[in-house]
C-alpha cells in the first residue's frame, strides 16, 4: 500500500482533510494554507516510496506518516498569536487526540503528536531533539522541501507581507557573504541566511537530502 492509497482505505482521512482546510483557511496566510499541506503530503508520498517504507513498515507507520504530514500545521505558532508555545502544544495534543479517537485512529495519537512537535525548525534549534521516528523524519523533510526553491521564496515574502515585515532594513550593509549571513532575521531577506539556506543540510532522509541538493 502506498501513502496516496490510504484515503481510499480509510475514508475518515478525507474528513480530516476538510477539517484541516477549514482550520487553515482561517489563518488567511498563503504560506501556511491547505495547498501547503497538499504539497507536504505529495513530498511525503515521494519520500516514503523512495525510502521503501511501504515494504519495510506496517500500516500504522504509513498512517502515522500521512497524519503527521496532514495535521502538522493546524496549530502553527506563527499563526496563533494569543497563546504561549506551551499552551499551543497542549491544545494541539488535546484536539488532535480527540479528532483521531473519533475516527478510530486514537491508537496513533501519541505517535502523531510526538512527531508534529519535532517538525519545527525553531523547536529543533531550541531543544536539540532527535527525530527518532519515520513519521517525524519524513514529515519534517517534506515540510522543509516546501520551504526551499521557488515556492519557498514565494512563501517567505507572502508571510512577510502578512506580518508587515520589511523586505530588508535600509541600514543593512550587504557587500559580502559574511554580512549577508549576519542580516537581521526580522526582515524577510534575513530569513534566508537565518533558516532557509541551512535546511538542505538538515534533512533526515536520504531522499530528502537528494531532493534538497
Give 23-71 as a DSSP string.
HHHTTT-GGGSHHHHHHHHHHHHHHHHHTTHHHHS-HHHHHHHHHHHHH
Give dist(CA 149, CA 152) in Å, integer: 5
Q: How far apart are the first and last CA of the chain?
A: 28
pTM over 0.75: yes
State yes or no: pLDDT of 171 exceeds 90: no
Q: Over the chain, what is the mean pLDDT?
A: 86
State yes or no: pLDDT of 25 exceeds 60: yes
What pLDDT does residue 79 have?
66
C-alpha cell at 148: 526551499
Residues 142-154 pLDDT 10s: 999 999 989 888 8
What pLDDT does residue 120 have?
85
Give dist(CA 147, CA 56) in Å, integer: 28
The mean pLDDT of 10-30, rounded to a whole number, is 88
Comparison of pLDDT for 184 and 36, the residue scoring more: 36
The mean pLDDT of 89-109, rounded to a whole number, is 94
Amino acid at each position: 500500500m502506498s501513502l496516496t492509497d490510504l484515503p481510499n482505505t480509510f475514508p475518515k482521512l478525507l474528513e480530516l482533510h476538510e477539517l484541516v482546510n477549514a482550520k487553515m483557511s482561517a489563518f488567511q496566510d498563503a504560506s501556511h494554507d491547505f495547498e501547503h499541506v497538499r504539497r507536504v503530503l505529495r513530498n511525503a508520498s515521494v519520500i516514503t516510496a523512495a525510502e521503501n517504507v511501504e515494504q519495510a513498515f506496517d500500516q500504522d507507520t504509513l498512517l502515522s506518516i500521512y497524519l503527521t504530514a496532514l495535521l502538522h500545521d493546524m496549530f502553527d505558532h506563527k499563526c496563533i498569536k494569543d497563546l504561549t508555545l506551551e499552551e499551543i502544544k497542549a491544545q494541539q495534543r488535546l484536539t488532535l487526540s480527540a479528532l483521531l479517537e473519533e475516527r478510530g485512529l486514537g491508537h496513533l495519537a501519541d505517535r502523531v503528536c510526538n512527531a508534529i512537535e519535532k517538525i519545527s525548525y525553531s523547536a529543533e534549534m531550541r531543544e536539540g531533539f532527535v527525530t527518532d521516528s519515520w513519521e517525524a523524519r519524513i514529515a519534517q523533510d517534506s515540510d522543509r522541501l516546501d520551504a526551499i526553491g521557488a515556492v519557498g521564496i514565494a512563501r517567505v515574502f507572502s508571510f512577510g507581507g502578512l506580518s508587515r515585515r520589511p523586505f530588508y532594513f535600509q541600514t543593512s550593509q550587504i557587500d559580502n557573504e559574511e554580512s549577508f549571513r549576519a542580516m537581521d532575521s526580522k526582515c524577510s531577506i534575513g530569513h534566508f541566511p537565518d533558516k532557509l539556506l541551512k535546511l538542505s543540510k538538515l534533512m533526515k532522509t536520504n531522499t530528502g537530502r537528494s531532493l534538497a541538493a
